[in-house]
Amino acid sequence: MAIQRDKKFLEKGHVGVMIEWLASFGKTENGGVTRLLYSPSWLDAQLALKSKMDQSKLDTYFDSVGNLFGRLPGSESNGKTILTGSHIDTVVDGGKYDGAYGIIASFIAVLRLFQTYGLPKKTIEVVSLCEEEGSRFPLAFWGSRNISGAYNLDRVKKVNDSEGIPFLEAMKQAGFDPEKYTPPVRDVERFVEIHIEQGMILEKNKNQIGIVTHIVGQRRYSVQIKGESNHAGTTPMQYRKDAVSTAAHFISFLTEKAQVVDPQLVATVGRLNVKPNVPNVVAGEVEFSLDIRHHEDTVMDHYCDVIFAEFKRFAENLNMEVTISQWMDVKPVKMDGEMCTWAREIAEAKNYRYQEMISGAGHDAQVFGAVSATSLLFVPSQNGISHSPKEFTSLEELETGIELLTELLYKLAY
């Protein structure tokens, strides 16, 4: 096999050129990127990537749902693949790095390996996953879940986007005819993803690399408080069944307890709606969302026991109703211990400032992590910002991530 040798992939600044190039597909007025699954900008980006992989003489192909693969065949291939990459889709007006960096880093790393060491023993494939965010359709991880076998076409038959366009119709229009769907018969031995952190831990700790040991589980609840709507002037404080002040107590309590129960636990009330929501009326009803994340189910169990008991005690005391309903339960996923060790050894050998850490965000790595040995690596996000045109990681940090990824892939495939 004749891989084209292209010196620019060895240049340190090249990742920046590639980031800007990929961000030109779906560029927004704010300098952000919008590439929603199966949209024209999404298709342009996948086809442009395919063309670039073709130029580099990787064996390229799409699967039935639009995941793009660029294959570097192994000399001792046993049919198993080392898969590396991330997702091509973005949120609306998102940044240039989320997902895109992982694809580009993998592409550069694989080409560098070949240009330096020739063909690997084990087959490596760069993957540009078709969808992770769930920004167009209410369905996250479509790309990785299709590969891992967790989802198939049955799962999307009744799914529409916000304009009412059926999932299967959008898929067909992008050139992926559901009639021709074949389930993936993949044998992924290992998956490696590199991603921006989307948090500020690496930056605060002045570290260059995060080696993820776990991806958190996520539980989401809706908490509904029913009190009594009353006149704000004529109802003394002690006679009130005020849903707002009750919600305030719950939120103060859960915020404080999150920090006491475990420093790595996060609990967020991001949405809160009041009825009737009028200045001079004591509110009769509040509904708020509660997002809880930790890498151990037992910690979340304990935390939920503590706070829900307090919610009930407090509400009963005031003769108010509280209803807690769970609408999401994603289990924590552990990354492969051996791969964490190898990544740590590389980072130490190269004198990188690194740390082991937990991923508080969901990633394709958690889908692969449930079925095969998986590694997730982070580079810093400036000010922790992501899902925004302000997303930024310096060229030097991007380059350090690629170097680590290259070494790890060498360890896995050569």
Among 283, 307, 365, 373, which residue interacts with a second copy (rule: CB under 8 A)?
283
Among 18, 43, 192, 244, which residue interacts with a second copy (rule: CB under 8 A)?
244
For 334, phi then psi, to 5°, come to: -95, 135
The minimum distance between CB 297 and a second copy, in angstroms, equals: 16
Number of residues that bind a second copy (CB under 8 A): 61
The minimum distance between CB 64 and a second copy, in angstroms, equals: 30
Stretch that binds a second copy, among 14-22, 69-77, 148-156, 379-387 (CB under 8 A): 379-387
**367 is an interface residue for a second copy by CB under 8 A:** no
Nearest to 312 by CA among 388, 223, 382: 223
- In the region spanning residues 223 to 242, those forming contacts with a second copy, defined by CB under 8 A, are 230-239, 242
Stretch that binds a second copy, among 50-58, 114-122, 195-203, 314-322 (CB under 8 A): 195-203
Burial of 73 (0-12, 13-18, 19+ CB in 10 A): middle
Give strand ranges (E) for 45-201: 59-62, 68-72, 81-87, 123-129, 188-196
**205 is an interface residue for a second copy by CB under 8 A:** no
- Rounded Cα distance between 291 and 295, Å, is 14
- Rounded Cα distance between 337 and 190, Å, is 12
The minimum distance between CB 290 and a second copy, in angstroms, equals: 8
Q: How many CA atoms lie within 13 A of 224 on its CB side?
A: 5
Among residues 51 and 383, whose Cβ is nearest to a second copy? Answer: 383
**315 is an interface residue for a second copy by CB under 8 A:** no
Stretch that binds a second copy, among 6-14, 108-116, 169-177, 196-204 (CB under 8 A): 196-204
Beta-carbon contacts of 10 under 8 Å, excluding residues fewer than 6 positions away, are 112, 115
**91 is an interface residue for a second copy by CB under 8 A:** no
**278 is an interface residue for a second copy by CB under 8 A:** yes
Q: Which amino acid is at 183?
A: P
Stretch that binds a second copy, among 76-84, 112-120, 165-173, 272-280 (CB under 8 A): 272-280
Among residues 171 and 216, whose Cβ is nearest to a second copy? Answer: 216
According to DSSP, residue 166 is labeled B
The minimum distance between CB 199 and a second copy, in angstroms, equals: 3
**30 is an interface residue for a second copy by CB under 8 A:** no
Contacts of residues 78-81 at CB distance under 8 Å and 24 or more positions apart, as own/partner, are: 78/122, 79/187, 80/122, 80/123, 80/187, 80/188, 80/189, 81/122, 81/123, 81/124, 81/125, 81/186, 81/187, 81/188, 81/189
